[in-house]
Amino acid sequence: MSAPAAGGAKEQVARLLTLVPYLYSRERVQLDEAAAALGVTPAQLLRDLRVLLMCGLPGGYPDDLIDVDLDALEDPEGDGVVRVSNADYLARPLRLSPTEAGALIVALRALRGGASDETRDVVDRVLAKLEAAVAEGAAAKVDVGEDVDGLAALRALLADALARRRQVRLTYYVPARDEESEREVDPRGLVNAHGFEYLDGWCHSADAPRLFRLDRIHHAVVLDRPVQSPPTQPRDLSEGLFQPSEDSLRVVLRLDPEARWVPDYYPVEDVRRRRGGTLEVTMRVADPRWLQRLLLRLAPHASVVEPPEQAAAFVATATETLRWYS
């Protein structure tokens, strides 16, 4: 029997939301196997994965976007294994606030009135869990699939370090590099943005201010050592996580029509139209490594106009990357 039609955008979104937890629950899955499980053709699933590559959290930075290894699926010598990373927030159920839980309860009760017996049974089970959690004032702990108590303990530990002005040593996961690193940090405050909580502090490893998302801190300890950097108020993140300064690296990129979406996703200082539908954009970059990853993602539809050393760095990075495929 042939796979059913893929449907429109609504069906595609439903497939993508199902696909990420499905892949996270399996170490290795072939494209054909995943397509069969989702009821679509391998070609349709590949199109879905190309869309997934451009999805992620608000902000649109590399750490925010879902990463899909398309080379393994499109290269004739690829192994055909579907690999998705940096999508852990979709691999577990969402945390609900009391307001969100209340809205779901109202919607489920309305749905129950016209539901079949089979659907009504499912709705009743979900309603029982939600109503019990709301009655206990713990809607945020409804099947979150993560260590809520651990986050609470981490928050208390960091608050203690802030109150006593003590340094902390963090084991921090960096999804863009898929690695853990150990940092010694002078904490400055706890801040919120886009539904996540961050520690704002001075990182002695980077010798610069940094934000550390709490759910990516795998271990933390308060050191018996006072903070060394001057007292500073935590940052205001109301205008976004990245707030460029005059000390940030200034770069000018030339973008082909295929990459004209960049100014819509990343903060830029200036956009200039050029012949042939190309754009020149000026932007500030805090970390040159982030710039190199962005250029690799855009290649061959983007190039560095200035500074020349970043153009040379990209050529070297691209050459080294291609070497691994030879």
CB distance 222 to 254 below 8 Å: no
What are the distances in angstroms from CA 90 to CA 31, 144, 145?
A: 20, 11, 11
**279-295 per-position pLDDT tens digit:** 999 988 877 887 888 88
Domains 166-226 and 249-323 share a fold: no
> What architecture does CATH give domain 166-226?
Roll (2.30)
| pLDDT(6) > 50 | no
- d(Cα 74, Cα 57) in Å, to the nearest integer? 26
- d(Cα 57, Cα 303) in Å, to the nearest integer? 26
| pLDDT(146) > 80 | no
Q: What is the DSSP letter of 220?
A: E
What are the distances in angstroms from CA 44 to CA 55, 92, 188?
A: 17, 25, 48
CA dihedral for 159, 161, 165, 171, sign (positive or negative): negative
pLDDT on residue 253: 93
Q: Which fold, 249-323?
A: Alpha-Beta Plaits (3.30.70)
| pLDDT(16) > 90 | no
pLDDT on residue 3: 42
pLDDT on residue 280: 92
| pLDDT(309) > 80 | yes
pLDDT on residue 179: 76
| pLDDT(147) > 50 | no
Ranges of each domain in the chain: 9-85, 98-141, 166-226, 249-323
DSSP result, 143-209: S--S-HHHHHHHHHHHHHHHHHTEEEEEEEEETTTTEEEEEEEEEEEEEEETTEEEEEEEETTTTEE
**19-68 per-position pLDDT tens digit:** 777 777 676 788 888 888 777 888 888 888 888 877 776 655 656 677 78
**Cα radius of gyration rounded to whole Å, the chain:** 23
**190-241 per-position pLDDT tens digit:** 887 766 788 989 999 888 888 888 888 888 899 989 999 888 877 766 655 5
**76-127 per-position pLDDT tens digit:** 888 888 887 776 655 555 556 666 666 777 777 777 777 777 777 777 777 7
Evaluate if pTM is beyond 0.85: no
Contacts 24+ apart (CB under 8 A), 206-212: 209/235, 210/183, 210/185, 211/235, 211/241, 212/170, 212/172, 212/183, 212/185
